[in-house]
Amino acid sequence: MLNDLNLFTSSDEETRVILKDLHQKGCCPRCILRFLGEKRPSPYVPSEQELYSQYIKPCVDEAAAEEEEQKALSTEKCPACLGILQEFACADFYQQIIETVKEADHEYSDYQLSLMLPVATILRQHAVFVYLVQKYRATFEDKEEKIATIKDVFKWSSGPSLSQLLGVPFQMRSAFDILLNLTYKPSDQECHFLLDTFPGTFRRRKVKKGDHETFTRASVQKVLGDMMPSDFSRKFSCPPAAPREACTCDISVSHDAVFVAGRYQKYSRELSQTPWIIDGELKMQSSVQDLVCQVILGRFRPADHKFSASGREDVDVRMLGLGRPFVVELINPHRIKFSPEDLKAIQKETNAKTDSIGIRDLQIVTREDVGKLKEGEEDKSKMYTALCWCERPLTSQDTQTLDSTKDLVLYQKTPIRVLHRRTLATRERKIYSMTVEPVNGLQFNLHLSTQAGTYVKEFVHGDFGRTQPNLRTLLGADCDILALDVTAVNIDWPPRIDPAPEDEAESGIVQGTGTSGELSQSCSMAQNQPQSHRETEAPSVAV
């Protein structure tokens, strides 16, 4: 049977000698195959007992065969892998994994295995290798990097069995992850001699609150590469002794994040984009985030979520037109199988639950696609309709002046209303075009196309001269803003799915497009005189 293996050794006799040597040092059958050079998955699939009968038993003396077999299959753990390829690569442990997966209640179509191994496994594998090089130099010199890892061998041996039990294929990379966190308590103690030898390499690193790590896999691997084998063998037993304690294993499962993208429209002037909390107190009962995510979270059942959008509007600003692009990152979702029809149903249910927001173009996107949400943050343009007040009626010359203004460069100091939470700076922004639409008396609509990041409210009233030029300087008269709508966020993402707003007018999804009548009627501030910006601070960030 040894002829079926791909090994470092050059003859059957040499293989038998080294195999018997490693077996006598306590190495398990899978570690023996690893150190002999086998790197194909199939030889590792049989159980430990089957591997012993197939490869080990024929190489030991017949008189001692029965005794050796009992010793090999006893509770003594392999000194190279700490018993990981014995105790955990077996049918009983596979059942523990299956029970954990069932309790977690995830949807998945395939799976991967991830192992977090004790750092001592690096030390012990190196110790076995140093021993082999010292005794069989011609066979093992420069072969350490070619030895199959404990992680790979575990996956090769357990993959077929777990696939059969789970009913889905094993993959080296899958969105559904079964994590085995293996712990060996004496690990740091065994590595401690390295701290005396290389004191500058090891520093305490915070892992989590109240917990620190001194010996990382990378740091131990580095110093072993720098250390002469003769120095190492004087400080650490080569080959290593049997482990003093058994490893323990914590099993957990998780699914990669799923990203749901779309566009939202906001019809309320009393709704923040995200939960508005000051000093631990929730200032508003709901938010765009809450309303958008409510149904999505119920269907996908994530452990947590993150909401992101392409910019944001103030609490008192509506978001109309095609809406503002957003994405919800669903962290460790338990349900992941949704068709376009399922997403359409989620969208419909969300829109039916509230008249404060609407969502459209709901779809699942990739992590790479999400980057497009933030691309061109400074380059994309936005369109607004602002209901404004002027201390005097606009003349035809005023209208002509504003309508003919193109690519107006603004210099905007951080607005006073957000100065407490934003860095003081002067930002250069551009208004690409503007047009005026009279409403009545002293009121008019100002339609704007601007660079993203432009403070529109401050452009209208000037913010005590902190925005230059502004509408006051252009008209030579006192101006203020009564209401503001965002009518377009010009970023072509996510891809369009739903019809244009004009085709949805009867559906109730789109409730406004920013016409003069809708804007003035929706604005509770639209009186004969403005409520000055100097008296109130907008509760959200600037538009």
290, 314, 316, 480: the active-site residue: 314
3-state secondary structure string across 367-383: HHHHHHHHCCCCCCEEE
> One-letter amino acid identity for 506?
E
List for the chain the helix, strand, coil content (%; round to 5).
40, 25, 40
Contacts of 120 (CB under 8 A, 6+ apart): 82, 184, 186, 187, 190, 191
Q: Is 314 a catalytic residue?
A: yes
What sign does the CA torsion over 395, 401, 404, 407 have? negative
Q: How far apart (Å, rounded) are the C-alpha atoms in residues 530 and 388?
A: 9
Question: Residues 281, 284, 290, 294: what is their CA dihedral angle, to the nearest 10 degrees?
Answer: 100
Pairwise CA distance, residues 386 & 539, whole Å: 18
Residue owning tokens 């993208």: 261
Alpha-carbon span 315 to 543, nearest angstrom: 10
| Omega prior to 415 cis, within 30 of 0 | no
8 Å CB contact between 33 and 43:
yes
Smallest Cα–Cα separation from 509: which of 335, 325, 381, 320? Answer: 320
Rounded to an integer, what distance in angstroms lies between the CA atom of residue 202 and that of residue 540? 47
How many other C-beta atoms are found inside a 10 Å radius of the C-beta of residue 308? 17
Q: What is the DSSP string of 443-465?
A: EEEEEEEEETT--HHHHHH-TTT
Smallest CA-to-CA distance from 261 within 304, 298, 302, 296 is with 296
* Residues shown for the chain: 543
Report d(CA 472, CA 153) in Å as an integer.
Answer: 74
Residues carrying an active site annotation? 314
